[in-house]
Amino acid sequence: CICYNKELQAALGTCVLSSGCSIADALVSQRVQAETCGFPVRDRSDTFRITQSVLFPLATLTVCLRMLSRSPMSGAGFGWDDWVVLLCVLPMTGLIVTSYMEVDSGLGQDIYRLSIPMIKHCLMYFYIGNTFYSPVIFGTKISFCLLYLRIWRDAGLAFRRACQVTAVVLGMALISFEFSTIFICTPPSYAWNALTGAKGHCIQRDAQLFTNSAFNIAADFVVLLLPIPKFLHLTMSRGKKAGVLVTFLVGFAVTAVSITQLVYLVRNVGKISNPTWDYFPIGLWRCTEVYLSMICCCLP
């Protein structure tokens, strides 16, 4: 039966496009087929909204608590690491705004059930949301490096140089990945206008995503493992040891999310034909990683 033969469905889709039909016509064809075959209406937007409504307030709360504990009135005063965290709040807020717009425009639903304007808006907000990802992910790692330099002011030259070099490399990576994200397509609007026959081209998106994810995972391990020798020589109460343990557990949870996202990309390379549905896990893990990174950064 055509309804359950995926190979035949793919062949028909290719035939429709090669016959000169527009993307809009191809989507109408898919929609008619879905209604004829009785395919279920799929919508995962509630999962997105629930995750956002839990993690964003929690991340915001941890930032506020960090600032209160570090204020000159109640703590040691603000350092460069604190200012970097505050800067990260801006792209984190931008991410949640664009994420809700993505969901409202159809992210988490099958593309053939959406209108062309909705698809364009969804892909546009997804593109904008991606530009907010790297500043938070790399900014929180830089903040950790600055925190290490602040805590261990009298540490050996090798440790301090390692922290400084790591922070510089992370800053360069942030600029590089942000540039490649913004200009992944020429013109940038081609990222969401390609469906309507606009002229333009994009670089290898899969290669860019793989490079970003792989570097991000490696950087996670470097930043988390840098202070281990120092912690082993510290005399701490059980409460402080528990706090350090929780920080590392959240840090490894962030890394686990990054690895999960990379595995998904590897398994689906060149196979994404239903963007508003297939991009959903990427959007969900992207936001989860950002919020957990902020929480982890504010726990010490």
Closest CA to 94 of 127, 142, 46: 127
Per-residue pLDDT 10s for the chain (300 aa) are: 566 666 655 555 555 545 556 677 677 777 877 777 777 888 999 999 999 999 999 999 999 998 888 877 766 778 888 999 999 999 999 999 999 999 999 999 988 888 889 999 999 999 999 999 999 999 999 999 998 898 888 778 888 899 999 999 999 999 999 999 999 999 999 988 887 778 888 887 777 888 888 999 999 999 988 888 877 776 666 666 676 777 778 888 888 888 888 888 777 766 777 888 888 998 999 999 999 999 988 886
- Which residue ranges form the domains of the chain, and what is each CATH number? 1-40 (no CATH), 42-298 (1.20.1070)
Query: Looking at residue 77, what is its pLDDT?
Result: 76
pLDDT of residue 141: 94
